[in-house]
């Protein structure tokens, strides 16, 4: 009887431990979800206002004098509330619309940053006279909040009201193209050799261990590696998409190899044995039978690896992609920046309008990354084969 009582106590103790473990797991899950919800709430609350921009209807005069002295193109009162960025691009406006020359046009012009912040009920540095003038404009229906197309069609700027992400997005695409062209073929070929052809000896095992270790190395180490090899030794142009792509290719290569090997291992051995049974060579077995059925897993690894590369900042800072570069790169060797680096630059700026643009840039980056991850999940589910 005493033995049974002791057994019941131990059983209750084990069940209690199991319940505590489940409770801790649920608490951790809830905490993670709460952090995620708070993060998205804060980013959306801060950044959604950047997708609208204050514009003022103003009389703009285009002639030789105003092209030389843009401040004279608008009235003195409008000059205090309009963005200086618009006045600087007057020659470009004339190039795009030559019919404007020697005329006065009524245009919706981007307002300066503090006016934009005032219209969005955010802290600003406007004085009483400027606030009264804006109230008059509002009464005359000459000021509005419109969709901020410039955020997606212009590059970075020192004036936050005209700063955009277009140049950084194009730089990011170029960097990812270079990364993909190098890391995908090298990663797949290395994985195929190690998984299907390489002998199982100590040298191969050493390589496998080092590949697994490389996948866990902090990304900034790859930046130092890229700086030493590509810039200092091979003289690849600093701040270019080429050096950024090569550096990120080094970083994503272990992930590509590991994910491809996992996809190849998931193919049943019976498929290989069947192919060998009808006289196929080892390469024919891989090319005609193993690769096609493992392709969904390989594609998933590619997308996840490229998504990680797209969100990286640390290695790109080391190879000089933090520079202020507002222009779209003309090629892989021209200076450029990437979206994560531009977001980091904006976050370090003291001007208030950059705060909402930083959050908006993060939202755009997260949207692209989530889209890539959902694509990977969709490919895996659509083409997955169960054996």
pLDDT at 243: 92
SS3 state at 375: helix
pLDDT at 148: 92
Q: Are strands 52-62 and 103-110 parallel, antiparallel or unpaired?
A: antiparallel
Token pair of 324 as six digits: 């202020």
Residue recorded with tokens 């024919």: 284
DSSP labels, 15-52: HHHHHHHHHHHHHHHHHHHHHHHHHHHHHHHHHGGGGE
pLDDT at 4: 65
- Nearest-5° Cα angle at 34, 312 to 304: 30
Q: Are 239 and 320 in contact (CB under 8 A)?
A: yes
The conformation of residue 240, written as its DSSP 8-state character, comes to B
In Å, what is the CA distance from 99 to each residue of 62, 79, 94? 10, 23, 8
Residue 275 makes CB contacts below 8 A (sequence gap 6+) with 284, 285, 288, 289
Which residue spans within the chain are E strands per DSSP? Answer: 52-62, 103-110, 143-147
Domain 165-383 sits in which CATH superfamily? MetI-like (1.10.3720.10)
Cα-Cα end-to-end distance for the chain: 51
SS3 state at 336: coil
> CA-CA distance, 272 to 192, in Å (whole number)?
14
Token pair of 246 as six digits: 């090569």
Taking the domains of the chain in order of start, what are their residue ranges? 49-95+104-147, 165-383
User: How much helix, strand and coil, in percent to the nearest 5, is found in the chain?
Assistant: 70, 5, 20
Sheet holding 103-110, edge to edge: 103-110, 52-62, 143-147
SS3 state at 104: strand
CA dihedral over 49, 50, 56, 57, signed as positive or negative: negative
Tell which phi-psi region holds residue 182, choosing left (phi > 0), alpha (psi between -120 and 50) or beta.
alpha
Q: What is the pTM of this model?
A: 0.83
> CA-CA distance, 385 to 387, in Å (whole number)?
6
pLDDT at 69: 85
pLDDT digit of tens for each residue in the chain (387 aa)? 666 677 788 888 889 999 999 999 999 999 999 999 999 999 999 999 999 999 999 999 988 888 888 888 888 888 889 998 888 888 888 888 888 888 999 999 999 989 999 999 888 888 898 899 999 999 999 999 999 999 999 888 888 888 999 999 999 999 999 999 999 999 999 999 999 998 888 898 899 889 888 888 888 899 899 999 999 999 999 889 999 999 999 999 998 999 999 999 988 899 999 989 988 999 999 999 898 888 888 888 888 888 888 888 888 888 888 778 888 888 888 888 899 889 988 988 888 889 999 999 999 988 988 888 888 788 777 777 666
SS3 state at 230: helix
> CA-CA distance, 360 to 46, in Å (whole number)?
8
Backbone angles phi, psi at 82, to 5 degrees: -90, 155
pLDDT at 257: 92
- CA-based nearest residue to 148, from 384, 364, 377: 364
SS3 state at 211: helix
């Amino acid at each position: 009887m005493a033995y049974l009582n002791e057994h019941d106590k131990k059983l209750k103790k084990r069940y209690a431990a199991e319940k505590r473990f489940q409770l801790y797991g649920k608490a951790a899950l809830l905490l993670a979800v709460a952090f995620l919800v708070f993060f998205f709430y804060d980013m959306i609350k801060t950044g959604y206002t950047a997708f609208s921009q204050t514009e003022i209807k103003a009389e703009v005069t285009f002639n030789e004098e105003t092209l030389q002295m843009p401040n004279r193109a608008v009235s003195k009162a409008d000059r205090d509330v309009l963005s200086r960025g618009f006045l600087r691009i007057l020659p470009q406006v004339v190039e795009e619309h030559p019919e404007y020359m020697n005329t006065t046009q009524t245009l919706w012009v981007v307002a300066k940053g503090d006016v934009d912040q005032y219209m969005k009920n955010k802290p600003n540095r406007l004085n009483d006279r400027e606030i009264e003038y804006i109230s008059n404009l509002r009464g005359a229906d000459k000021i509005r909040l419109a969709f901020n197309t410039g955020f997606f069609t212009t590059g970075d700027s020192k004036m936050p009201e005209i700063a955009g992400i277009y140049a950084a997005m194009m730089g990011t695409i170029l960097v990812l193209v270079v990364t993909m062209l190098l890391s995908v073929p090298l990663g797949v070929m290395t994985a195929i050799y190690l998984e299907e052809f390489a002998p199982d000896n100590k040298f191969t095992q050493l390589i496998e261990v080092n590949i697994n270790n490389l996948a866990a190395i902090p990304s900034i180490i790859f930046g130092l590696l890229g700086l030493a090899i590509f810039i200092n030794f091979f003289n690849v142009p600093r701040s270019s998409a080429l050096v950024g792509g090569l550096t990120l290719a080094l970083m994503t290569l272990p992930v590509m190899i590991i994910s491809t090997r996992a996809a190849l291992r998931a193919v049943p051995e019976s498929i290989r044995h069947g192919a060998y049974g009808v006289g196929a060579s080892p390469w024919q077995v891989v090319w005609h039978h193993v690769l096609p059925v493992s392709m969904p897993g390989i594609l998933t690894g590619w997308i996840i690896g490229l998504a990680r590369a797209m969100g990286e900042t640390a290695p790109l800072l080391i190879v000089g992609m933090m520079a202020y570069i507002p222009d779209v790169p003309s090629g892989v060797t021209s200076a450029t920046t990437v979206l994560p680096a531009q977001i980091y630059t904006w976050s370090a700026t003291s001007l208030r309008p950059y705060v909402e643009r930083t959050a908006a840039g993060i939202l755009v980056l997260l949207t692209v990354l989530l889209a890539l991850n959902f694509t990977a999940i969709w490919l895996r589910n659509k083409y997955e084969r169960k054996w």
